[in-house]
Every structure is written in structure tokens, then in C-alpha cells.
Amino acid sequence: MKALVVREFGAALNVEEWSVPAPGAGEVLVDVHAAGINFPDLLVIDGKYQFLPPLPFVPGKECAGIVKVVGAGVTSPKVGQRVLVQVENGAYAQQVTTKAVNCHVVPDAISFPEAAAMGLTYNTAHFALVERGQLKPGETVLVTGAAGGVGLATVQVAKALGAIVLAAVSTPEKAAAAKAAGADHIIDTGVADPREKLREQVFAAVGKRGVDMVIDNVGGDVFDACMRAVAWCGRLVIVGFAGGRVPEIKAGHLLVKNIAAIGLQFSDYRDREPEKCKVVRQALFDLYSAGKLKPYVMATFPLARYAEALALVKGRKVIGKVVLTTA
């Protein structure tokens, strides 16, 4: 089969012939039709992620396709079913072998590109809001990087769960996408002096109490500014650092406002509590079926044009998701 292979961290990738193992007990082999691209994939490819596979390897953490073979003991999914697959690596290929528990049967109404786009980002959004952030209906949620993959998913999921959503974005184009996804208020992070201006915008939108929760995908100066916009007893869920700088938190700031700073690494839940992930995945599919979620796929590229797709993500030019098609 064809796969996108990394033979040296930070070096050029190539589409190569790659062998995929037959599924063992509790595993399935899936014919991949679409694979979502996520910012952490670029970190893995460059050797900068917290978890790195041995070389050589096939990157990619999510894909959608059709079950071809099931291993011993597998009762679900079944051969021929359409599934969303969550893996640590291996999705940028025409086939992938994975644990059956990490495959989720996809409703017929969801296309393969949409299903691939609903993998890591929507799981991250739901776990950030509910599992880690303990979201309650009617609360205010500020989402940073709100037009990216996780950001746009978080806007949609938060709105579907009854929150008042503030979307922090840097351009008018991204603001329009966040509004279309259901954001109630737009916070402009492209302004000079975001330390002051972000808080001013938040207060103008929801009052001087601030927001109940921040879901931060950006880090850096945006994170620092968000610390000043969190309400008393608010929660700040740390998802990623797309802005580049990993921020540092002064413990005194948490103390004086009773703020909770909470981390989220979704792949830990995938590996440690896969049954909980199945419940969340079904809840997300149900929200899709109810018309409350709609993944935005900005563009699809065949596997051979992977360089164009990855460049869009690296250049932070993607609204929603970019997907590779492999079938």
C-alpha cells in the first residue's frame, strides 16, 4: 500500500510503499478513505512532540474508512462497516491496523472527510469542556484560536451544550467562520496590546465578572491576556500552544481569584479510558445527527499532494480542517 513515511525527523517526507500488519487479537484492518491533519502531526514529523515513535513511521492520528479484516475476538466493528479510527500514528496511509476499541462506527449521513475531521478535534473539544472544564449550561466560555481545528470544534460543541461562546480570533475571515459556527461574541486578538484589549473586549461582551471558562489552544501572549479575563472561581483549560510560546503561570494569580488551571492531553484518555471515549464519540455523532455540529472541511488533498496540505496547517492558514484523501 501507499503511505506517507517519515524516515528522519525534520526532513522531507515521501509517499512510499509500506506494509501494514495483519490484525491480531482485538484488532482490525481498515481501508482508509480520508485522514485528518492536526497541528500535533507537524510536531511529530519535526521531532518536537512529547511522544515520538521510532523511525521510520507513518504519521497521522485520525482517519475514516471501511473495515476490511477483523482479528480474533472482535465483535464490533464488523467487516464492511464505515468507521472513524483514532491512533497515535499511522493514519496517513491507504490502510491502517489498530485496536478495535479505537474504531467508532460512523453514521451513514457523515462523509469520510467529515468523519476524519471529527476525530481528534471534536474529542478534544468535548473532553476539554465537559470532562476537564465541567461545563454547565448557560456558562460563558472563551475559546482561543477559535477558527482552527480544535477551536472551531470547541465553539460548536460549547454552543450545542448550552454555553455562551466568545471566539478569540486574529482576522475578519476567522471571525466570520467562528460566527458561522455559532459564536455569540468575537474577541479580536490581532489588536495591539492584547494584555489589556482582550480583557476589555471580554468585559464589554459579558460584564466585568469575566468568563467562567477559557479553552486555550494558543498559549503565549493570548494565554497571558486570558488569565486576566477569567471570572472568580473560573477554569482555564490548557489544550495547546499553537502560538509558539509555552506560557508560565504565577501561582499567586490562581490563588487570589480561585482560578483552576487544568491540562488536557486527549490521547491519554484514548489509551487509558477507551470506553469513555466511545461514549463521548456517540454523543458527538448524536449532536451531528441533531444538526448541532457540522465539521468544516476547508479543503481535501490526495495523498500525493500532502506537502500543500501540511504547508497550509504549518502556515496557520487553515480554517477548520484540511483532510488527505487516500482511497
- Dump pLDDT digits (tens) for 243-281: 778 888 989 889 999 999 999 999 999 999 999 999 999
Which residue from 142, 130, 164 is spatially nearest to 281, judged by alpha carbons?
130
User: Contact, 202 vs 229, CB < 8 A?
Assistant: yes
How far apart, in Å, are the Cα atoms of 283 and each of 27, 152, 219, 250?
24, 18, 29, 36
User: What pLDDT, on the 0 to 100 scale, is given for residue 327?
Assistant: 67
pLDDT band at 292 (very low <50, low <70, confident <90, very high): very high
The pLDDT tens digits of the residues spanning 28-82 come to 999 999 999 998 999 999 999 888 999 999 999 999 999 999 999 999 999 999 9
Task: For residue 279, give every residue at least 6 positions away whose Cβ sits within 8 Å of its Cβ, in sequence order, or none.
Answer: none
pLDDT band at 237 (very low <50, low <70, confident <90, very high): very high
pLDDT greater than 70 at residue 93: yes
What is the mean pLDDT of the segment spanning 16-39? 96
How far apart, in Å, are the Cα atoms of 152 and each of 164, 229, 290?
14, 20, 18
User: Contact, 151 vs 132, CB < 8 A?
Assistant: no
Which residue from 168, 177, 176 is spatially nearest to 200, judged by alpha carbons?
168
End-to-end CA distance of the chain: give it in Å, rounded: 11
How far apart, in Å, are the Cα atoms of 308 and each of 1, 90, 156, 325?
22, 19, 27, 13
Which helix (H) or strand (E) segment holds residue 68: the answer is strand 62-70
CA distance 271 to 281: 14
Q: What's the grid cell of residue 57?
A: 513511521
Strand-pairing partners, residue 297, are 321
CA distance 268 to 27: 19
Q: What's the grid cell of residue 92?
A: 496517513
User: What pLDDT, on the 0 to 100 scale, is given for residue 195?
Assistant: 81
Mean pLDDT of the chain: 94
Strand-pairing partners, residue 27, are 99
User: What pLDDT, on the 0 to 100 scale, is given for residue 126?
Assistant: 98
- Could you tell me where the DSSP H helices lie in 16-171? 39-45, 112-117, 120-126, 149-160
The residue among 219 and 185 whose pLDDT is bigger is 185
User: What pLDDT, on the 0 to 100 scale, is given for residue 180?
Assistant: 95
Q: Are strands 14-17 and 164-169 parallel, antiparallel or unpaired?
A: unpaired
Sign of CA dihedral 28, 34, 39, 44: positive
- Domains belonging to the chain, first-starting first, are 2-118+295-325 (3.90.180.10), 121-266 (3.90.180.10)
User: Contact, 141 vs 211, CB < 8 A?
Assistant: yes
Q: What's the grid cell of residue 38?
A: 492536526
The pLDDT tens digits of the residues spanning 158-181 come to 999 999 999 999 999 999 999 999
Strand-pairing partners, residue 85, are 63, 103
User: Contact, 22 vs 72, CB < 8 A?
Assistant: no
Whole-model pTM: value is 0.94
**Chain CA centroid to CA 295, Å:** 11
**What string of DSSP letters covers 146-170?**
TTSHHHHHHHHHHHHTT-EEEEEES
DSSP-derived secondary structure letter, 101: G
User: What pLDDT, on the 0 to 100 scale, is given for residue 186?
Assistant: 97
**What string of DSSP letters covers 231-289?**
EEEEEEEE---TTSPPP---HHHHHHHTPEEEE--HHHHHHH-HHHHHHHHHHHHHHHH
Pick from 17-21, 114-118, 153-157, 248-252: least confident:
248-252
Which helix (H) or strand (E) segment holds residue 184: the answer is none
